[in-house]
């Protein structure tokens, strides 16, 4: 704890000069906040011989809070029998909300917001805590590059079909702002946009009605095609595809479809129940790959096919998303070029993801002999439960440059049946690196690195097994295998 003495009007400036840890916060995984780890006591100066001064103690002094997530703040006023404080937010509702007990909930929009703690005993004693929500800030009021969908007739009453209103707003070519509503926006057809779509910070819900998974993509909620501007953002939206959890007639009614576009970010959304994928990134009907795509800080839940499908792309960053899924069709994150002899996927980074899923968490897949080589996929800092954490199955086209580092696999769901597997790579031209991972299977299963031409590393991993679980390295010339701990499991290392 640090004690700082200063005049009341110089609170923020003095704190900045003293270098208290208001910066250097790292972004955190969904559901958590990263704090500066500092408690600050604000003490009122006193005259010599006077009674002890009152002070206000705050923790944490600053933090990074993911959109929609919560952080408990604590404050106490000392030097008075009345130790209570009151909480407020300088930016009002736009800055989130805070309870009387100091539980802060971040808005669904990026920015730096300011929580104010005020001593009940001495209202002149206040302290301001800056809280950063990662992501894109809302546009300024009256920005001519944005239009509100409600200005084009959208009602958001859950009854009126708002499809035509959204399409009319999108036809302006401007970015779309979706105001909050007490119900939800009802749509029944695809909305093709030419730029950003953002909620107003309140996470407005848009529901698709009549989705059939059809290959015509007519029940995609938002689609962006051939965008190449400085940056388009889909942020602060609750998109609900309303898949019933049973139907399997199709798989192409996505929440967001990005085609042949560059510089697109999907962040701070809740995407659920797509009768297809929550997010699809590719070329699809266009001849060029999507590039420079970021998917971050989203809740991705209960899609039929994938939460994220990477079909034809280069330079994709996927991080700090949470995945919940019961369907076992395809995979939760599927990196899979179309089998057309052209599409490939390169330079995909996946980090700090959390999984609570059935089936496969992350998969690299191609149809054998129908796709060129793809690769340079890095998976690090991810954790959670799945039947298979990572899979590149046999019989597919070549993948090279696969890295799994510092992940924690906790086995399958407790309600799941079937196998456990952390890593399964069968046939690759090389450069498969598995290092510093923790594997905690909760049943029988196997890990396999097999038929890999060169560059295999299995180093400094820890397995803590229960039941029959085997780690196999086979037909992998010059494999480096060292520093691993095989606790309670079998290993067969015959490179």
pLDDT for 45 beyond 70: no
- Is 445 part of any domain? yes
Tell me the pLDDT of the chain averaged across its residues: 89
Question: Do 237 and 374 belong to one domain?
Answer: yes
Task: Judge if 318 and 172 occupy the same domain.
Answer: yes
Last residue of a domain, one of 83, 98, 133: 133
Structural domain contains residue 139: no
Residues 118 and 251 occupy one common structural domain: no
Residues 108 and 200 in one domain: no
Question: What pLDDT digit, counting tens, does each position of 80-120 carry?
Answer: 778 788 999 999 999 999 999 999 999 999 999 999 999 88
Say if residue 426 is in the same domain as residue 336: yes
Kindly report the CATH number assigned to the domain that includes residue 267: 2.160.20.10
Count up the domains in the chain and report the number.
2
Q: What is the pLDDT of residue 285?
A: 79
pTM above 0.85?
Answer: yes
The residue that leads in pLDDT, 290 or 494, is 290
CA 252 – CA 241 distance, rounded (Å): 11
In a domain, 138, yes or no: no
Q: Does 213 have pLDDT greater than 60?
A: yes
For 431-458, write each residue's pLDDT tens digit: 999 999 999 999 999 999 999 999 999 9
CATH number for the domain that contains residue 21: 2.60.40.1080
Could you give the percent of the chain with pLDDT greater than 70?
Answer: 89
Q: Cα–Cα distance between 378 and 351 in angstroms, integer?
A: 8
Is the same domain home to 118 and 245? Answer: no
Question: Are residue 103 and residue 150 in the same domain, yes or no?
Answer: no
Q: How is residue 173 annotated by DSSP?
A: T
Give the long-range contacts of residues 44-48, CB within 8 A, separation 24 or more: 44/8, 44/79, 44/122, 44/125, 45/5, 45/6, 45/7
Residue 347: the pLDDT is 98
Does residue 87 fall inside a structural domain? yes
Phi, psi of 177 (to 5 degrees): -110, 130
Same domain flag for 348 and 443 = yes
Judged against a pLDDT cut of 90, whether residue 205 lies above it is answered with yes
Containing structural domain, residue 91: 2-133
117 and 200: one domain?
Answer: no
Is-contact 253 211, C-beta < 8 A?
yes
Is 18 in the same domain as 161?
no
State how far the Cα of 464 lies from the Cα of 469, in Å rounded to an integer. Answer: 10
Q: Give the model's pLDDT for residue 284.
A: 77
Same domain? For 128 and 181 the reply is no
Using CA atoms of 98, 132, 222, 249 in order, give the dihedral in degrees to the nearest 10. -70
State the pairing for strand pair 126-133/360-364: unpaired
For 16, list phi and psi in degrees, rounded to 5.
Answer: -65, -40
Residues 33 and 168 in one domain: no
Examine the fold and report which residue of 100, 133, 166 is the final residue of a domain before the chain moves on. Answer: 133
Residue 141 in any domain: the answer is no
In this prediction, residue 52 carries a pLDDT of: 45
Residue 442 located in a structural domain: yes
pLDDT at 370: 87
**Closest of 337, 317, 457 to residue 398, by C-alpha:** 337
């Amino acid at each position: 704890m640090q004690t700082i003495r200063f005049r009341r009007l110089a609170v923020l400036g003095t704190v900045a000069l003293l270098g208290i840890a208001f910066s250097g916060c790292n972004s955190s995984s969904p559901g958590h906040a990263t704090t500066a780890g500092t408690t600050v006591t604000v003490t009122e100066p006193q005259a010599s011989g006077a009674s002890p001064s009152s002070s206000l103690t705050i923790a944490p002094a600053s933090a990074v809070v993911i959109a929609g997530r919560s952080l408990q703040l604590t404050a106490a006023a000392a030097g008075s029998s009345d130790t209570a404080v009151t909480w407020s937010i300088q930016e009002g509702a736009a800055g989130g909300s805070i309870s009387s007990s100091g539980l802060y909930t971040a808005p669904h929009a990026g920015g730096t917001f300011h929580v104010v703690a005020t001593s009940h005993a001495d209202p002149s004693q206040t302290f301001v805590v800056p809280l950063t929500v990662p992501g894109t800030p809302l546009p300024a009021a009256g920005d001519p590059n944005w239009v509100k969908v409600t200005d084009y007739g959208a009602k958001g009453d859950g009854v009126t079909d708002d499809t035509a209103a959204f399409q009319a707003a999108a036809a302006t070519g401007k970015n779309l702002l979706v105001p909050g509503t007490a119900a939800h926006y009802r749509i029944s057809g695809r909305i093709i946009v030419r730029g950003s779509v953002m909620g107003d910070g309140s996470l407005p819900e848009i529901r698709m009605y009549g989705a059939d998974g059809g290959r015509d993509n007519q029940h995609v909620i938002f689609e962006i095609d051939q965008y190449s501007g400085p940056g388009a953002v889909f942020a602060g939206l609750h998109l609900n595809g309303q898949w019933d959890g049973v139907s399997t007639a199709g798989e192409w009614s996505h929440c967001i479809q990005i085609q042949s576009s560059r510089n697109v970010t999907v962040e701070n959304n809740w995407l659920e129940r797509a009768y297809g994928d929550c997010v699809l990134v590719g070329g699809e009907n266009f001849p060029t790959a999507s590039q420079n795509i970021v998917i971050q800080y989203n809740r991705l839940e209960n899609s039929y096919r994938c939460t994220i499908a990477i079909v034809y792309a280069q330079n994709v960053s996927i991080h700090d998303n949470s995945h919940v899924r019961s369907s076992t069709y395809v995979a939760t994150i599927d990196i899979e070029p179309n089998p057309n002899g052209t599409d490939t996927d390169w330079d995909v980074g996946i980090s700090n993801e959390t999984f609570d899923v059935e089936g496969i968490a992350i998969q690299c897949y191609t149809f054998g002999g129908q796709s060129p080589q793809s690769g340079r996929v890095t998976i690090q800092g991810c954790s959670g439960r799945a039947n298979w954490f990572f899979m590149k199955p046999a019989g597919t086209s070549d993948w090279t440059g696969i890295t799994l580092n510092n992940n924690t696999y906790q086995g399958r769901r407790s309600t799941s049946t079937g196998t456990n597997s952390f890593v399964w790579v069968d046939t690759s031209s090389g450069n498969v690196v598995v290092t510093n991972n923790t594997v905690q299977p909760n049943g029988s299963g196997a890990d396999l690195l097999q038929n890999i031409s060169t560059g295999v590393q299995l180093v400094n991993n820890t397995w803590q097994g229960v039941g029959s679980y085997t780690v196999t390295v086979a037909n992998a010339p010059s494999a480096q295998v060292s520093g691993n701990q095989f606790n309670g499991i079998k290993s067969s290392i015959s490179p």
